[in-house]
Chains A and B, each alone.
Chain A
Amino acid sequence: MIDLAQAAGLAQSASAGEAVFFWILAPIALGGAIGLVLSRQAIHAALSLAVTMMCLAVFYIMQSAPFLGFVQIMVYTGAIMMLFLFVLMLFGRDSKDSMFETLRGQRLLAVLLGVGLAALLSSGLARAVSGLVIAEPTAPAGQGNVEGIAEALFSTYLFPFEIVSGVLTVAAVGALMFAHVAKKGGHRGQKEHSRERFAPGNYPGPRPGPGVFANSDSTATPALRPDGSIEPASLSEYVPPRQLTPAEAAPKHTEGRES
């Protein structure tokens, strides 16, 4: 919690309105982060993360970096989290974390190591940040937020920027390569489908439904030919066929009418 104390120190030096917003949004951001770890359903975790990202974006805007803040909302919350949601939804609705512990004592160790890592990181960060004097953002004269970022990105840091975009493009193309499955036999048009359908030995019409000419229309009842024999095309692969007994097939008087 040294981070928080440090941030509180920052907030004190800022204006009152900023402090109010900070104390409203900081617990929400932390709550989102905790919710991400603790929620059992993947979508809830993703939503908690989205809440944290939104709070961070508002922090950026408050620190007079509106461009960064809105780009954070558009790119992280709008695009990247939406992709996460998309993938999670493709997995299905009931994908939950398995609560079965496969490694003995794993949970206890994870808590201990997690707390240790947090203490290490926050103490290091506190030592690095404690001596800093908070200064107003200094933009060159006549330059706004956007121009400042553009200047830094496209002149000072042009090479790293290009390298990063190259790496991202390679990663995206690589993912496409892995996901790409070449279609077997090429595209089959209407003509091929039609030829197949009317090929000798294939019945071009729709399959007979269950229960045609039979005494019931249950899925289990095979269709009968006019001569009384069973039509093989109406047999289901999955439902074992049987003829209903006359008692089963008789009207059940569900409409409240005696007939």
Chain B
Amino acid sequence: MNDPVWLMLIKGVLVFVVLVLLVLFTIWYERRVVAIMQVRPGPNRNGPFGLLQSLADGLKLAFKEDTMPRTADKLVFLAAPVIAVACAFTAFSVVPFGPVVNVFGIETELQLTDFEVSVLVILACSALGVYGIVLAGWASGSAYSLLGALRAAAQVISYEIALGLAVLAVFFQSKLMSTGAIVEAQAEGLPLSIGGAEITLPGWYFIVLAPSFVIFVIAMVGETNRAPFDLPEAESELVAGFATEYSSLKYASFFLAEYVNMVTMSALAVTLFLGGWAAPFPDSWWPGANEGFMPLVWFFGKVLAFLFFYVWLRGTLPRLRYDQFMNLGWKVLVPVSLVWLMVLAAMNIGLDTGNELPTRIAFAGGAAIVVMALIFFWPSRKPYEDPAEPDTGLGGFPVPPLDLAVPPNPRSLKQLEPASTSSAPINGSQKEEE
């Protein structure tokens, strides 16, 4: 990465512009997709297909009155949205969009910056981004905001562990921590011989590391506070959670940060598990597919597919209860990731042809036995037991008697009354008789 300064500036501005445009698009996309899922048209008035709806919403938000509660901590209240937005945008700087291309006669990668440990930048930024939410909730001086902030802090710390363990499996497999290098490592196929037939599977890590991919996707939704894990801003419980007291541009910045985080997490998932900018088919089908600016299409296609997944989740799943959510994080995702990491390490030693045969068999067989034992002896729920004696209603529930005879419908007993003596019949009484 030895770009001249002007090229770095252009790249930086481009990353910013791409993110803002993607956010505008994603808001429209989300509303339209959810609308289609709910069999209604969705926003379709502003611009073609309603594409300018989010732009109009943004302008409207900017011109709203900016309020600050009297009990607010002024400095922290102002700093919180800035922290959220800055962290969200910074994280995107290490995402690779494409391979080395020629820009104005200079060979450069389609990536703002890359170095030895660049995946950690995204994790660090998402860890810092929580400060924005937590401080916003605390500084607002309102009970709902504080509850939202507490939930956000607990949620992100819990799900960051599962997220980190899932990413760790990628580090294990590729022995790399740089986003660009991980994408290149996935380009190599996975040779496999089944019954003599040589098959080359795609080397994308969502196949090799399928459990990690599943855990990553679940933790990613928890980390970005999106439905069904949107407990910090649960509108049916906490008004708007941490953002209750915010209005105008400050509220818009939280909105922006949330959507940028969604895009960043989708891009990270694509980079780590779905081959990054590589085309979703073998090179032999279309030799030029992975060269020049063409990979941008594959990259953004995959990111949009992930964003669709986010919207799909929101349109389908109800919000989790808080204790269920924490149980999922700590009692399922974290232990499963830990066991999977151990198994992965053992399998890697077992498959490594450099070791002696007994070592390899011992490690691979041990890993297989551990997995089998876990599947068979996983502590599951208590089986359902039938109640010992049926409830009779005495001291228990007011159950109706089992031989209950349904009384006759009072309407069927009602006789047609003769019309009243008044000259004009009243409509209401006629209706009753019908």
Where the two chains meet, the residues of A that have a C-beta atom closer than 8 Å to any C-beta of B are 41, 43-44, 47, 50, 66-67, 70-71, 73-74, 77-79, 82-83, 85-86, 89-90, 93, 144-146, 194-195, 198-200
Q: Name the A residues within 8 Å of B177 (CB-CB).
A: 67, 146
Contact of A66 among B117, B137, B141, B397 (CB under 8 A): B117
Return chain A residues, CB-CB under 8 Å to B283.
none
Q: A43-B76, A78-B130, A198-B397 are in contact. Are A70 and B115 (CB under 8 A)?
A: no
Q: A79-B157, A86-B154 are in contact. List 11 more A-B contacts (CB 8 A).
A: A43-B135, A77-B128, A78-B130, A79-B160, A82-B127, A82-B130, A82-B131, A86-B157, A89-B138, A93-B141, A146-B177
**CB-defined contacts of A82 to chain B, threshold 8 Å:** 127, 130-131, 134, 153, 156-157
Q: Can you list, as one digit per residue, whether each of B276-309 has a CB less than 8 Å from chain A (1) or not (0)? A: 0000000000000000000000000000000000
Is A78 a contact of B128 with CB atoms below 8 Å? yes
- Fill in one digit per residue for B59-76: 1 if any A CB lies within 8 Å of its CB, else 0: 000000000000001001
Q: How far is the CA of A54 from the CA of B134 in the complex (A)?
A: 18
- Of B20-28, B118-126, B260-268, the stretch lying at the interface with chain A is B118-126
Given A93-B141, A195-B396, A198-B396; A79-B154 close (CB under 8 Å): no
Q: Which residues of A contact B130 (CB under 8 A)?
A: 78, 82
Residue from A44, A47, A74 with most neighbouring chain B CB atoms (10 Å):
A74
- Asked if A83 and B157 sit within 8 Å, CB to CB, the answer is yes
Residues B396 and A74 in contact, CB atoms below 8 Å apart: no
Also in contact, A198 and B398, with CB within 8 A (given A70-B121, A82-B157)? yes
Question: A78-B130, A93-B141 known; A145 and B117 CB under 8 Å?
Answer: yes
What is the chain A residue whose CB lies nearest that of B127?
A78
List, in ascending order, chain A residues with CB within 8 A of B121's CB.
Answer: 70
Given known contacts A50-B131, A89-B138, A67 and B120 CB-to-CB distance under 8 angstroms: yes
**Which of A44, A74, A93, A146 contacts B124 (CB under 8 A)?**
A74
Knowing A43-B138, A85-B134, the reply to whether A200 touches B150 (Cβ < 8 A) is: no
Question: Does B358 touch A at the CB level, under 8 Å?
Answer: no
Question: Mind listing 16 A-B residue pairs with CB under 8 Å?
Answer: A43-B138, A47-B135, A50-B131, A66-B117, A66-B120, A67-B117, A67-B120, A71-B120, A73-B127, A73-B128, A78-B130, A82-B156, A86-B153, A89-B149, A89-B150, A198-B397
Which residues in window 155-211 of B have CB below 8 A to A? 156-157, 160, 177
Q: Which residues of A contact B153 (CB under 8 A)?
A: 82, 85-86, 89
Q: From residue 129 to 149 of chain B, which have CB atoms closer than 8 A to chain A?
A: 130-131, 134-135, 137-138, 141, 146, 149
Determine which residue in A90, A93, A195, A198 has the highest number of CB atoms from chain B within 10 A of its CB, and name it.
A93
Inter-subunit contact B160/A47 (CB<8 Å): no
- B116 at interface (Cβ–Cβ under 8 A)? yes
A165 to B155, CA, bound (A): 24
Contact A66 to B116, CB < 8 A, known contacts A43-B138, A47-B76, A90-B150: yes
Closest residue of chain A to B121 (Cβ to Cβ) is A70
Is B128's CB under 8 angstroms from A66's CB? Answer: no
Chain B residues closer than 8 Å to A199, beta-carbon distance: 395
Are A146 and B146 CB-contacts (below 8 A) given A73-B128, A74-B127, A77-B127?
Answer: no
A257 to B150, CA, bound (A): 47
Using Cβ atoms and an 8 Å threshold, which residues of chain A touch B396?
A: 195, 198
Q: How far is the CB of A23 from chain B (nearest CB, A)?
A: 21
Enumerate chain A residues within 8 angstroms of B157, measured Cβ to Cβ.
79, 82-83, 86
The distance from the CB of A83 to the nearest CB of chain B, in whole angstroms, is 7
A176, chain B: closest CB distance, angstroms: 12
CB distance from B33 to the nearest CB of A (A): 32
Please, which residues of chain A bring their CB within 8 A of the CB of B123? 70, 74
Cβ distance B50 to chain A, nearest Cβ, rounded Å: 38
A144 vs B137: C-alpha distance when bound (angstroms): 41
A119 and B227 CA atoms in complex are apart in Å by: 55
Q: How far is the CB of B342 from chain A (nearest CB, A)?
A: 15
CB proximity of A248 to chain B, nearest CB, Å:
31
Is B117 in contact with A146, judged by CB distance below 8 angstroms? yes
- Of chain B, the residue at the smallest CB distance from A73 is B124
CA distance A83 to B141 in the complex (A): 20
Measured CA separation A145–B73 after assembly (Å): 42
Residues in B whose Cβ lies below 8 Å from that of A41: 73
Q: Which residues on the B side are within 8 Å of A73 (C-beta)?
A: 124, 127-128
Contact with A along B96-119 (1 / 0, CB 8 A): 000000000000000000011100
The answer for the CA separation of A144 and B126 in the assembled complex, in Å, is: 25
Contact A70 to B116, CB < 8 A, known contacts A83-B157, A198-B396, A198-B398: no
Q: Which residue of B lies closest to A86 (CB)?
A: B153
User: Does A200 contact B116, Cβ atoms closer than 8 Å?
Assistant: no
Q: CA separation between A85 and B149, bound complex, in Å?
A: 10
The residues of A that contact B160 with a CB separation of less than 8 Å are 78-79
Contacts of B156 on A, CB cut-off 8 Å?
82
Cα distance A43–B149 in the bound complex, in angstroms = 13
The smallest C-beta distance from A15 to any residue of chain B, in angstroms, reads 16
Q: A115 to nearest B CB, angstroms? A: 30
Which A residues are CB-close (under 8 A) to B117?
Answer: 66-67, 70, 145-146
